[in-house]
Amino acid sequence: MTQTQVAILGSGNIGTDLMLKVLRLSSVLQMGVLAGIDEQSEGLARARGLGVSTTDRGLDGLMTMPEWRDIRIVFDATSANAHARHDELCRRHGKRIIDLTPAAIGPYCVPVVNLDSQLDRPNLNMVTCGGQATIPIVHAVRRVADRVVYAEIVASMSSRSAGPGTRANIDEATRTTARGIEVVGGAEKGKAVIILNPAEPPLIMRNTVYILSVGASQAAIETSVAEMISRVQRYVPGYRLKHSVQFEEYGPGRALHIPALGSVHGLRSTVFLEVEGAAHYLPAYAGNLDIMTSAGLHAAERIAQIGQRQS
């Protein structure tokens, strides 16, 4: 079977982990070039040791390489600020883009929720690691409820797993996650809190999802959440429910006050998750890295499979 050539922009934690996933896991994609901007970066050194072509001149350098002609999909693992230019240039040259920054130029994509409706788009934005971990749960409740009035997520990850790019993007990541909770998850109002935990030894990624819904039973929510977790586990095996779903009812005589919404009623579901990484590059505690690169890989493979069937 002919493989689809891909390039990765960014030789930091996310780009390097994604490169290793393409090399080790994918029978659909072929690793073409890893492009960074630091000649001494560990990611570029790792790529060269594995026989992968590299450039330390970013996208500009990549476009001068002979491999550029055969590249079909470009993963952007740089920064939200850099992505705007990368998007413009890649589109001009007819390259599909999987955006792993929180730039949100393309539509938000969470594979288990809306990938099928986005497969023909030139740029897919993979939201954020917190979004990939929690938006499926918000959607799981929304699909069995009349309304999801409010959803709030708290994503906590080890500070060791957050490189310079992640830290530079933290404000954009928070805003993008909150918006993704609404646009993809289906909440009328979304909020995101992202925590870089400095604890030693490093802690595994943990996510807490609070959802206030109307018109769904506890049993329906539990079943929907369990099914959604099983679907995510197909491409992120370390994704799991940490505790049974917790419920609290806010009826007519007991309102829940939410800033910007006022007093609201409904069923509050609290879902506790953890994400253990596959340790392709960073240790297993870096589940935040693993779920982001796994989602990007999954999306690219689906795009590639369709392209291969059509050619």
Closest to 105 in 3D by CA, of 78, 124, 121: 124
The CA distance from 130 to 157, in Å, is 9
Q: Are 242 and 257 in contact (CB under 8 A)?
A: no
Closest to 108 in 3D by CA, of 55, 179, 172, 9: 179
**Tokens linked to 248:** 């609290």
The yes-or-no answer on residue 109 being catalytic is no
Query: Tokens 């009826």 sit at which residue?
Result: 251
Closest to 138 in 3D by CA, of 155, 128, 151: 151
Strand partners, 193: 154
**Which residue is catalytic, options 52, 71, 73, 129?**
129
3-state SS record for 115-155: HHHCCCCCEEECCCHHHHHHHHHHHHHHCCCCEEEEEEEEE
Torsion, CA 288, CA 291, CA 294, CA 295, rounded to 10 = -120
Tell me whether strands 262-264 and 256-258 are parallel, antiparallel or unpaired: antiparallel
**Tokens linked to 73:** 């999909």
The CA distance from 199 to 176, in Å, is 26
Q: Are 127 and 102 in contact (CB under 8 A)?
A: yes
Q: Are 145 and 216 in contact (CB under 8 A)?
A: yes
Cite the active site residues: 129
